[in-house]
Structures are given as structure tokens and as C-alpha cells.
A and B are shown apart, each in its own frame.
Chain A
């Protein structure tokens, strides 16, 4: 069998593919973070908890109301996005004039409270959530079994990332948003309701996290700390990509998924640290991140 660095080639291909799949989650989550930071200048530490809420809302919809995966994919982001809107209106909006640190501390605290409440109610070992029947099964690629559901996750993540990028870069609303970030007073003078736009942007960023949560529910254990485990990596992704850069966070998300996947083959013990090593190197060479503007 052909080998690269002592690893059989088919196995390596498999790992690259798996890395891309994990990268899809990193990309989706860091996308929401980047949108929020780019527009609101708030580092949203509640993001992990909101990802978890997405998964839990999907579980609740199924178990309490009998609503399945497909509707959950639409409803859960809406419901969690609405909680984000309320959070932004009642708390975060008061902090825009203050230093970044206040927003960070507030969202950090809110995230802890949400996780604590869910842990108290649902315990820590998690809830079962099945893959929808339409997406069960796997393709035999020769070098590995590729679960259909994972393929679906990658496709949806790419579509979602593209759509978000298009909305922000190519539409009128997107141009208002970008303008409001640069000079909110001027945009407001044109008759655009900037505070409402900020609120909706935060809601949309949160909805993206919840959407990723629903996608993750059938794969990972739906438990209160599922977001806390991922969010640290996702923050590193955003920092490496360049704070607030949407394209940067998407490309970095997929790229780091692959780097992590390869580390899992060559030196698995380091697979949780490799991303931070990359972060340190990137920050030394380019303090604004790979795609950020200093």
C-alpha cells in the first residue's frame, strides 16, 4: 500500500476528509462570532452556550412537541436568535460605549449562567438525538465509510458561509451594516435605525450558533458543556483568521479542521494544542491575523 510519512494514503485521505467535516463546525461557529465582532465590536463569549441551546431546543422540540429535525433546523435558530435579541436589547446594548472588556465579561457571565441552568435541569451526561431517517447510512468510499449525515453537514456549512458572506458583502443591508460599523452617527443621519440593525445582527449571529448546534445534535452528545468544549477552539480560529473577518474565519475554520485532523494521525496527544500553537505563530508573524486589517 502506498504510504506518506509512514501513513497509508487511503487513511490519510480519510483523515483529511474528517478534518474538513470538523472544520465545517469551526467555520460555522466562528462565522457567527466574526459577524458579531465585526458589526458590534463585542466579543460574544455566550456563543458556546448559544450553540448548546440550539442543540437542546432541537431536542426539546422533538421530545416535548414531536417536531423533528428538519423543522428544528429552522425553528431552533429562530427561537435561540430571539433570546439573543432580548439579551442584546436588555444588556449588551448598554455596553457599546464602554471598553470591549465589559462586553466580554458580560457575555462570559451570561454563558456560565445559561450552562449552569441547563446542567441543573438536564444533568451533564447528555440526551440522545437521532440522525433523521433521510440522512442515515453511509457511503463506502473505498478508503472509509463516509456517513451521509457528515457529508450533509459539510454541504450545509459551506452554503451557509457563502450566503452570509454574500449578504454582508453584496447586498444593500450588508452595506448599511458595514457603514454603520465605520461611522454609526453618519449612517443614522441618513435615516437608518442603527440600534435596531445592531440588535438584528446580534440575533443573526446567535441564530448561526444555534443552527450549528442543531447540526451537531445527532453527532455529539447533547449536553450542557458541548459548547464550552468547542468555543475555545473557535475563538482561536477567529483570532487566527483576523478578528471580524468573515472570509478569514471561514477559510481558517476549514483549514484548522484539516490541521487538527492530520495531527490526530501523526501525534494525537497534541491534537487539542496544535491550534493554539498555530495561533501563537500567526500572532507573532501577523498580529492582526491572517485576513485581518491592522
Chain B
């Protein structure tokens, strides 16, 4: 109850600040020629460092690089506090007040809820932060593009790699909300289809859990060879720290962090995190183009480097603006579906993710990379944490179109 009040206060302030950035009445003529991008993400909770203010900066970098091509671009942002009700309210008000596209939106429960708002108002919606594969599956929408990763892609890359390495019996420790369920389901399917089995799972309350020792001991008692963490952010950090503390890996049990970002590894420390395998679709030190992008971002990021979530905001904003330039501002404001269709028709290319395409169901296709966390002695310094151990090509990384059962494609 206290938590609600506390976060409500912050949310109100954040939303007010965001609306304050919208133009006044005198600027109405100019407004018709202005594209407004709303970055909606977690700016005060467990997922803040994954995107948060850095995600906003990445979107602004894309706007700066795109330059002036006959229309103005404004970026507004707000904190959804990982709560669907807050997210829906902000998105609805934004769309009503002239925001043309909402991007980012981590936390699958919020991501799915905002997708419904975008569809109801026929606006464009590009989700880069949520993981649930339902965004392009059971709950797909012609107004949605899902940018750089999803639970299926994570499950296929990390899950399959673990089974190949002999981890054929799994126990899941799952965050009890849409994302955790989707990640557990998708990984479980891969484990079973590869001949493995799921011996049990436990669902813990999100986001109110900080101690995972009880679940870790239950997982250990199941004698599973792999403990899969179907969670993210601070929960994953706490899970892995406490697994090390309780000696979970002593008897040969392996840990699978099904969704882990670079800042999470930083927080756990290489000492504890070394040897973990994880999947991302972006790493700042992957190739010359990602390094060039990271260098351009440095002035905006303090001592942090972009990770796959914040980099995706850059990538999708750039592609969105290219589509607007192609179809014209007036046409883009008339229909969100048309903007999304134009984006799907155009090939993507940027420094962060390279060349790519967007599928009919809204799935952006890009390769997924399997990384192993370096040992402290292998790391050359801050943020030098990953070594590449495998790549799944873009066309194989995601769930095949036919298996998604996306409803609007059938009509």
C-alpha cells in the first residue's frame, strides 16, 4: 500500500514532466509538422539501468543523427514503474495529446497492455524492452513491431546450448508475471523437444522478492541438472549471487540466466558471473560498427555503454524516422498501421544491429549471439565482459511465422 503511494507520486511527477514538454497552443501549426516519439520505460525500478534514461538518450541520438529532413522531431519520456495501469494511462494520454509513436516499454505485462492502447487508437508502437513472444504471437497487433529479442529467441539460444552441453533436466525459478511465464514456457518447449525434461518449477511474486535462497534450495533438492532463471534485472542478480553463496553449483548443477543484460553482469561482478552463458542481440564490442556506435554514444552515457535494450531504441527510432521521411508526416499521422506497414516494407540498417528486416507479424529479425561471461583475468577492463561462443542467424533465431498463430495475419 505504501509502495503504491510512493510510486504513484513519482509517476504523477514523471507524467507531468513529460506532458510539459508538449507544445503549447500557439505552436499548433508547427505541431502538424512535428513527429513526437514517446519513450516509456522503467526509470526508477529494477529495469532502470537496462534502458531507463540511457534508452531515452539512445533515441535522442538517433534523432540527432537523422537530422532535419523537412519535419521536426521531439522526444518525450516517462516512467511506467513496471505497472500496467500506469503504462496504459500514460500511453493513452500521450497518444491523445499528439505523440505519434510509443517505444521501449519493458516489462511484458506493461508491454502487452500498451499494445492494446496503440491498436485501439490506431497509433504506431515499437516495443524494444519486453521479452514476451506473445507480442508477435497470440497477442500480435498490426500496430506493433517487436524489436530485438523475445522469450522464444532467448530460449532457443541459451536453452538449446545448455541441453547440448548435457543439461537435460531443468528446474525453473520464475517471476510470476507474463514475462516469466512466457520465458519458462518457451524454454521448457525447447528442453522437451531436445529430449530433456522439466522436473519442476517455482513461481515467486514479482517485484516483491529479494531473497531467493528458499527457491534455490528447492531447486537443488529436485536434483535437476540445470536451474533456469526465468526472470530479469535485480531478480537475476540476486538469484545468481545467492546461488553462488549456497554452493548450488557444487554438485555439478548448472545455472541458466535466460535473460541477462550487460549491466546485470557488471552488478554481479565477474568473480561470481564468470562462465555463465547468456544471449543478447547486441554487444558494444561485437564489431567495428557497434564500437563506432558506442563511441558516438559515450558523451550521452556517463560511464555506461549501451546494451541490447538501449541500443534497440536507437535502432528502431532511426528506422521509424526513415519510414516517416518516406511516407510524409501527414500520411503517418493518419494511420499507425500504415506507418508500421511502411516500416515492414523497408529494409533496416544501422550501426547497432546491422542489416535486418521486419516480418509481417511485426517481428524484427536480427541474429542472436550466445556469449560466455569472461573470467576476471580475461577482462581488459570495465565493460569488457563477454566472449562470443555462438551465433544464430536472423532467419533461424526467432519463432517461425506459422507457429506464432498471429490472428491478424489470418484475416
Chain A interface (Cβ < 8 Å from any Cβ of B)? 8, 10-11, 14-15, 18-19, 21-22, 45, 108, 112, 116, 119, 123-128, 130-131, 138, 144-145, 147, 149-150, 219-221, 223, 225-226, 228-232, 235, 261, 264-265, 268-273
B residues less than 8 Å from A268 (CB atoms): 176, 202-205, 215
CB distance from A281 to the nearest CB of B (A): 17
B residues less than 8 Å from A270 (CB atoms): 205
- Chain A, interface SS category: helix
Instruction: List the count of A-B residue pairs having beta carbons below 8 Å apart.
Output: 133
A residues less than 8 Å from B208 (CB atoms): 229, 232, 272
CB distance from A13 to the nearest CB of B (A): 10
CB 8 Å contact bits of B44-78 with A (1 = contact, 0 = none) = 11111110100000000000000000000000000
B29 at the A/B interface (Cβ < 8 Å)? no
Does A145 lie within 8 Å of B214, measured CB to CB?
A: no
From A226, which residue of chain B is reached at the shortest CB distance? B210
Chain B interface (Cβ < 8 Å from any Cβ of A)? 1-3, 6, 9-10, 44-50, 52, 176, 202-205, 207-211, 213-215, 217-218, 220-221, 233-234, 237-238, 241-242, 245-247, 250, 263-264, 266-269, 271-272, 304
A residues less than 8 Å from B213 (CB atoms): 18, 21, 150
B residues less than 8 Å from A265 (CB atoms): 214, 218
Question: CB within 8 A of B217: which of A11, A231, A271?
Answer: A11
Q: How far is the CA of A232 from the CA of B4 in the complex (A)?
A: 11
B residues less than 8 Å from A232 (CB atoms): 1-3, 208
From A22, which residue of chain B is reached at the shortest CB distance? B211
Q: How far is the CA of A19 from the CA of B48 in the complex (A)?
A: 30
From B3, which residue of chain A is reached at the shortest CB distance? A232
B residues less than 8 Å from A126 (CB atoms): 234, 237, 267
From B268, which residue of chain A is reached at the shortest CB distance? A128
A residues less than 8 Å from B268 (CB atoms): 128
A residues less than 8 Å from B211 (CB atoms): 18, 22, 219-220
A residues less than 8 Å from B46 (CB atoms): 124-125, 225
From B47, which residue of chain A is reached at the shortest CB distance? A124
Q: How far is the CA of A261 from the CA of B210 in the complex (A)?
A: 13
A residues less than 8 Å from B50 (CB atoms): 125
Question: CB within 8 A of B210: which of A108, A229, A273?
Answer: A229
Q: How far is the CA of A8 from the CA of B271 in the complex (A)?
A: 34
Q: A123-B49, A220-B238, A232-B1 are in contact. List 12 more A-B contacts (CB 8 A).
A: A8-B221, A10-B221, A14-B221, A119-B48, A126-B234, A130-B271, A150-B245, A219-B242, A221-B237, A221-B267, A231-B2, A265-B214
